[in-house]
Amino acid sequence: MFDILVEQMKETEDVTEQLKEENQMEWVQIMENIQQRSTEIVCEEWICI
């Protein structure tokens, strides 16, 4: 579920390998944010079940 969420958010926010090549710091910040949000969603789903 986590991996799927990360991939969906990357697509939605247009996070590409090109961005990674052109601006690594921005890419890292965006990816950390995406991973944090995905973690929160997964935790909420498991805790609420």
Q: Take residue 41 and report the two structure tokens written for it.
A: 């969603």
Does position 3 have pLDDT exceeding 90, yes or no? yes
Task: Assess contact for 2 and 39: CB atoms under 8 A.
Answer: yes
| Number of helical (H) and strand (E) elements in the chain, helices listed first | 3, 0
- Between 45 and 8, the higher pLDDT residue: 8
> Could you read off the pLDDT of 14-49 as tens digits, one per residue?
999 999 999 999 999 999 999 999 999 999 988 875
In the chain, what is the straight-line distance between the N-terminal and C-terminal CA atoms, in Å? 14
Q: Record the pTM.
A: 0.88
- pLDDT at residue 49, rounded to an integer: 59
Q: Which long-range contacts (CB under 8 A, 24 or more apart) does 20-25 make?
A: none
